[in-house]
Structure 1
């Protein structure tokens, strides 16, 4: 039982092996990633019919596209003929996707529309309708953010995001409500995807040590007493603060126009939507921590900017964010070094067998969520592992639950007319 690898009732310990085990990783793909809502795109990337982006759901590649009827659809980016990736571009606009292996061609809805040598090879008896690209079971949007899930029994997206909304709404609102994404930037680093996911949720504890030199350059971190964390049973977690603190950090980092709102507005500092979608409130970076094995991840990063910014202001904002948060950003390089070192030392037999400490704040958080009334959350001080404990509690529930049962999408033998 994966629940046995975490103990937040008495000891506050977590098994280090969950960050290094191949067996654990393979099960994450069929439970955590197969059953959760995963961030795919923003509607600003899909304005016109035929606009598309490629994304990942766990390690499954997908194509997300705007349909002629205005809807958004996502399909598995794997050709039904020999399993080749159909689309190898990050984004674009098209009416057709053609596999570069044998030329099977699909429309943006994933329907198979053309097969080379269909008459000679299949004698005009191929059931093309039965060989469409595998659709993502459900695709829904929240305030322009597009998510998908393979699980037909998952709650509606609006319900899944219920306890993430305080963070997600404030992230969007402080940028001006109407936003668009710049990017993506993509890079690979050593490390387990769960480390940054839990960290961007609520780990404010690392900042004054890991980012000491960077913080010194911008005059120090915000006053900790003015920040609180929250965690929910859904696994979402965030650090929240008043907008005055956010605006000062924003200005010190030089990342463009200050956020919208009054000084005492409660807003997000940083957050994770379970399992692997994170964002930072005061400057606009978004991250998806794409799993690439138990000790490697691919980081996909965007910057959210107010729609309609003039070119120069937009350029300054993107430059400011990139200096701090990117593959070579001063903050992100610090974090990447930590995650990579954890992966390196954790390969040892004794290191993987040594439990890790998640005790900070145990017994001192507020189960009523007083700092965030109206939401079913627990809240705690900045220096607290409350977010990580909530994250791994939900993680273990999914890991100990059933794997996603796949419904075969291929036609039965004989469907091509030979049976």
Structure 2
């Protein structure tokens, strides 16, 4: 039995508690950690957490020596300190994305991981999306398009919620390309099968951010006319009050900023990534979209594409041979837990710990993804291409 400690009782921490409880019998949750006791008690009650020892600091958990594996699901800016402490104390660690929010933090984590011989796992559950699994197989195993030479990805995300929370502040999230974009950046890195060497990006605020002074929807005088006003049911409002508003007296945390109040992160960006193997990829993401998505790659032999316009389908176009087009249908394992991706990821996590063989992406993959976003934010600021070697010793991500 793998004894688990969950650090952070927010949305992702709670989702991992649920998937472990319901789907992963090889794991047992022994400890829960949150620095806010009011919020932790409310979350445990509302989400039916299993009986577990409660701690209010990571140091106390590490000192108790009652777990084998620690899940770090805290806000992004806290990852570096917590991860390095866990590694230095000899624990296996699972980090929900992103790895870190700036280059110095990434470097510190990677050096600690090299020094301390413990397994490290990144929560890149998109690698367990069955569509991406099949796409990787078609590219790498079946070699249907040849080596990837170019790629493109567009994500039209409805991300107004990020502008109600700490994600809207760069010093907390590193920018949404670091916090949210890291998922798709990891998929692009995985499909290209290389590491980034240069990034050029443009971006800005087109919809969100601004100079509104309202603290949030529950105290706003414009909810009748605002298209982004939160219309909460009585039960939803009670949940917000019990888990967040009442708990805010402890640490000031809120999920209810006005989306048109000041923000220090772009709500859209366009990024060009150059890789060590010569491939080049364009990645665009907006946070005022409707959910439209597509991703594709081209090689000497043809092209491959998937997207929301062809749900659960992958199309391959061949330049040569008799069969010019192939279509692959993909089925999700379940509608829950990110289409079953969290379940598959946890199963591989168990296998990794049981066999000692790394089956999940690790911190090096986390660094490759995060550093693209970090470089993109610098590129947007300085209006120039940014070489990754300016930010990190390249041997850390090769």
Query: What is the TM-score of this pair, normalised by structure 1?
Result: 0.25
Higher strand share: 1
Higher helix share: 2
State which structure, 1 or 2, has the greater radius of gyration over its C-alpha atoms.
1
Query: What is the TM-score of this pair, normalised by structure 2?
Result: 0.26
